[in-house]
Amino acid sequence: MADDSILSVKNVSVEYLTESGRFAAIQNMNFDLGEGETLGLVGESGCGKSTTGRAILQLPRPTSGQVVFDSVDLTRIPQRDMRPIRRRLQIIFQDPVSSLNPRRKVKDIVAEPLVIAGVGTRSDRDAKVREVLSAVGVDPDISMDRRPHQFSGGQCQRICIARALILEPTLIVCDEPVSALDVSVQAQILNLLEDMKARYGLTLLFISHDLAVVKNISDRVAVMYLGKLCEIADSGRIYDSPAHPYTAGLIASIPVFDAGSSGRGERAVLAGEIPSPLSPPSGCRFRTRCRFAQQKCREEEPPLRQIDERHHVACHFPLLA
Amino acid sequence: MARFVQNLLRRPGPSGSESERAAQDARETTRSHQPWWTRVGLPFWLSLGWLVLIGLSAILADILPIDDPLSTNLDTLFMTPLSEGHLLGTDAVGRDMLSRAIHGARISLQLAFTAPFLSLLVGLVLGLSAGYFRGRVDTAVSIFTDSILAFPNIVGVMVILFFFGASLPVMILALAFFGIPAEVRVARANTILFSGREFVMAARALGASNLRIMVRELLPNVIVPMLSLVLFGMSIVIIIEGSLAFLGVGFPPPTPSWGKMIADGFEDISRAPHVTLVPAAVMFLTILSLNMIGDSLRALTDVKASSL
């Protein structure tokens, strides 16, 4: 896809061995991330969004496929060589409280990346910790010697962001960073991520199940269903003219404040339940819930194909604008 | 880009709108910054006082103005407590009970302050590894601890004492050995619990080594419940020593130990109950104190740990 991509995920699959056989959490994922771009990754829970994010960080290493970060294939290099690369790849988790060790002080938690990377003396590190804590809006004078339980969820997420930023990484995987927070606090954290992205020149992979959140922060959006990519396009495009029936259904299910002025006469509401990922439907995985499913969808799995310059979709019969 | 977000909330200063939360933090801080010693209550202080008294007298036994615990005196047999010169009375051969109780404390306390900590150390290493690595390490550790548990510990200690002789170091090692399984189980269970938390994943994402994750991230969380088990282990150790002495497998006479004193006095319990009751009471108070302190400490540390 893009030539200036900082990260390419190529045919990545992650499989787990269960008692009932092999189970693919994600299968043949393909996408690129341009430098300075924010890619939103959405889908219902259990569709493999987080697995994708973690597979990029090699936690665990994907079963097959390549993760090329800055022209290095992370799936091939030994653990030892992975360590310096980890400094440039960071992750922020959904539950900010669980992401911070309850027995350690904030200054030790935030300084930990520096210690592991072996950067600076103790006083250098302290200065750096103060700097990032101020940057994320946590007063270092008050917070440095406190422990995580003395902070609110929003403040804990700020501390997690500080920890992710302290090594000045290239790419941050944000794994549902605001899902556990109050709506008012969500807005603050999203603004903070935007500010930090501008200040540190970050590339973000923003994972969320909340399309409203993703819409406002992403340059491009990728939609996943049952471990596979359905559609990937620019943010404006995917919300205005989704090509995959699943994307259309998801977008139609975003609550609208004023139903009268919504302008979406017909709502493509998603019906049915997600099939078990242990035995996904044949052909197109979405066909069991798709209004437009035909015989071909049952027999043949649709590949991800380009329908416009920056718009890819995995559907035999894409919706046309 | 986040215009929608800005409309939702007129972009508050980084920490501005959290002022309410900050105020609440301040209140919480004052509560948790209330010194811990005002929150533990009288039973804790009485218990600590008793242990300090026993501990100091055991350490200073040789320079305290008390009789030789081994010197017999046929003129003063079975003197009742509060007799002239013998605060706690004398036993069947006229030895001073107070002096023997204090010297007996040396054995019990030496056991209590070594064996459980050795168990903790070994249990920590085994339990952390088993819970962190799982798989074969876990299986091996489980087989090891289960086989120790399959052995009645008093019988086990008796056998070890029989083969290696009843000396203090052998006794310490034997008691420590049988204390390992409990510590391993607590360490392993807590390691598994905390390994699933995201801060461990975060450390791994930062490239922390397994050893670093175990020592820096897991150990501080796992050691707290293990330490409360140490206090429990102390009382167990004292009780086992008492039981062994009562069964006649403790230290050879005339070394005074609480268990031995109880056993000796038992023959004359109808004539002079105090010979049995004095060491029994001392032992009872010591164990009660250890348990009380354990409860207070648990209550102190649990509030924060469990509220997460």
One-letter-per-residue 3-state SS of chain A: CCCCEEEEEEEEEEEEEECCEEEEEEEEEEEEEECCCEEEEECCCCCCHHHHHHHHCCCCCCCEEEEEECCEECCCCCHHHHHHHHCCEEEECCCCCCCCCCCCCHHHHHHHHHHHHCCCCHHHHHHHHHHHHHHCCCCHHHHCCCCHHHCCHHHHHHHHHHHHHCCCCCEEEEECCCCCCCHHHHHHHHHHHHHHHHHHCCEEEEEECCHHHHHHHCCEEEEEECCEEEEEEEHHHHHHCCCCHHHHHHHHCCCCCCHHHCCCCCCCCCCCCCCCCCCCCCCCCCHHHCCCCCHHHHHCCCCCEEEECCEEECCCCCCCC
3-state secondary structure A141-179: HHHCCCCHHHCCHHHHHHHHHHHHHCCCCCEEEEECCCC
Q: Can you state the angle between helices A153-165 and A106-117, rounded to 10 degrees?
A: 20
Q: Does any domain span residue B177?
A: yes
| Integer CA distances (angstroms), B6 to A187, A202, B9, B16, B17, in order | 8, 21, 5, 15, 14
Model confidence at B162, in pLDDT bands (50, 70, 90)?
A: confident
Q: Is residue B235 part of a domain?
A: yes
Q: How far apart are CA B234 and CA B255, in angstroms?
A: 21
Is B57 a member of any domain?
Answer: no
Nearest 5°: phi and psi at B97?
-70, -40
Average pLDDT over residues A178-189: 89
3-state secondary structure of B285: helix
A154, closest residue in chain B (CA to CA): B18
Instruction: Could you please state the CATH topology (level 3) that the domain comprising A5-88+169-238 is classified under.
Output: Rossmann fold (3.40.50)
Closest-CA residue of chain A to B32: A150
Residue A147 has pLDDT above 50, yes or no: yes
User: How many whole angstroms separate alpha carbon A219 and alpha carbon A96?
Assistant: 25
The candidate with the shortest Cα–Cα distance to B99, out of B117, B122, B72, B134, is B72
> Is residue B68 included in any domain, yes or no?
no
Using CB atoms within 10 Å of the CB of residue A35, give its burial: 0 to 12 exposed, 13 to 18 middle, 19+ buried.
middle
Alpha carbon distance B292, B42 (integer Å): 10
Q: Is the pLDDT of residue A196 over 70?
A: yes
Helix orientation angle between B168-195 and B153-164, rounded to the nearest 10 degrees = 140
| HSE-up of residue A46 (Cα within 13 Å, Cβ side) | 8
**Where is pLDDT greater, at A190 or A21?**
A190
Q: Is the Cβ pair B216, A217 closer than 8 Å?
A: no
DSSP state of B65: S
Token pair of B44 as six digits:
């804790």
- Give the residue on B whose Cα is nearest the Cα of A140: B15
Q: State the number of CA atoms in the 13 A half-sphere of A149 facing the CB.
A: 15
Q: Tens of pLDDT along B226-249?
A: 888 898 899 999 999 888 888 888
Q: Which of B:22-51 have CB within 8 Å of A?
A: 25, 28-29, 32
Comparing CA positions, the residue from A47, A48, A42, A11 lying closest to residue A206 is: A42
Question: Is the CB of A217 less than 8 angstroms away from the CB of B201?
Answer: no
Q: Which of B242, B254, B257, B228 is nearest to B157 (CA)?
A: B242
* 3-state secondary structure at position B83: strand
Number of domains comprising chain B: 1
Q: Tokens representing B283? A: 């032992």
| Minimal C-alpha gap between B77 and chain A (Å) | 58
Pairing mode, strands A171-175 and A5-18: unpaired
Statement: residue B221 has pLDDT above 80: yes
Give the burial class of B153: count Cβ atoms within 10 A of its Cβ; 0-12 exposed, 13-18 middle, 19 or more buried: middle
- Would an 8 Å CB–CB cutoff place B13 in contact with chain A? yes
Residue B13 lies in a domain: no
What CATH number does the domain containing B207 carry? 1.10.3720.10
Question: pLDDT band for position B304 (50/70/90)?
Answer: low
Instruction: Give the pLDDT band (50/70/90) at residue A266.
Output: low
Residue A121 predicted with pLDDT over 70: yes
The answer as to whether B21 is a domain residue is: no
Mean pLDDT of A234-247: 91
Tell me if B301 is assigned to some domain: yes
Among all residues of chain A, which has the CA nearest to that of B204? A59
With 90 as the cut, is the pLDDT of residue A74 above it?
yes
Q: φ and ψ at A105, to 5 degrees?
A: -80, 155
Q: Could you tell me the residue ranges of all domains in chain A? A: 5-88+169-238
Nearest CA-CA distance, residue B5 and chain A, Å: 5
The four Cα atoms A196, A198, A203, A205 give a dihedral, to 10 degrees, of 60
Contacts of A99 in chain B (CB under 8 A): 197-199, 202
pLDDT (tens digit per residue) in B33-83:
567 777 778 889 999 999 999 999 888 888 877 777 777 777 777 777 777
Our CA dihedral for A41, A45, A46, A52, rounded to 10 degrees, sits at: 20
Stretch B93-104: mean pLDDT: 84
Contacts of residue B2 in chain A, CB cutoff 8 Å? 187, 190-191, 194, 216-217
At B89, is the secondary structure helix, strand, or coil?
coil
Q: Which two tokens stand for residue A170?
A: 């290239």
In a domain, B188, yes or no: yes
Taking residues B187-214, what's their average pLDDT? 93
pTM recorded for the entire structure? 0.81
Cis omega (within 30 of 0) for bond into A60: yes
Domain extent, residue B110, equals 91-306
Pairing of the two strands A5-18 and A21-34: antiparallel
Mean pLDDT of A30-51: 91
pLDDT of residue A99: 93
> How distant is the Cα of B189 from the closest Cα of chain A, in angstroms?
17
